[in-house]
Amino acid sequence: MNRDRMREIGRVRAHRGGSAVTAEDEWQEVEIDEIPSQGEMIAGELGSTSVLVVNMRGTLYALGNLCSHENGWLDMGTLWEAEGQVECPMHGGRFEVATGHPAVEPCTVPVQAYAVQRNGDRLLVRPMTGMTEGEMEGSGGGVGE
């Protein structure tokens, strides 16, 4: 399958709520206004997909920005830094920032987590799909400032 076709499939998946990234090993830049300060989170764009960028204890993480329960915008929620979780503003469900795994009901389906690389003011991500939990913990999913 050629790259143009793969990108088109990625756009369709993104429109349906999936990831806009088409190749697991392909790093793509997240469009953000600024790198969030420690304890902050902001929404960025990865193609047509909204990505939540979180600075938790000096490490940058990236997650899909839509709650898997009712499509609430996670960037409008609360960062529970001590617990390593982000809370959806709609029903109070939470996700683990490092892995995207649901932590508090009513959320039961993970959101996409991304591995992160920082290059100056640029933030590059790729999906952590296919990584084992140990690999995700080992990579932390994030990158230090």
The topology (CATH level 3) of 25-144 is: Rieske Iron-sulfur Protein (2.102.10)
**The model scores a pTM over 0.85:** no
Higher pLDDT, 47 or 10: 47
Q: What angle is formed at CA 109 by the lines to CA 102 and CA 29, rounded to 5 degrees?
A: 85
Q: How does residue 137 score in pLDDT terms, banded at 50, 70 and 90?
A: very low
pLDDT in the model for residue 130:
56
Tell me the domain boundaries of the chain.
25-144
Residue 37 has pLDDT above 90, yes or no: yes
Of the listed ranges 3-12, 53-62, 135-144, the one predicted with least confidence = 3-12
Pairing relation of β-strands 85-87 and 78-80?
antiparallel
Span 109-113, mean pLDDT? 96
85 burial (CB, 10 Å; 0-12 / 13-18 / 19+) is buried
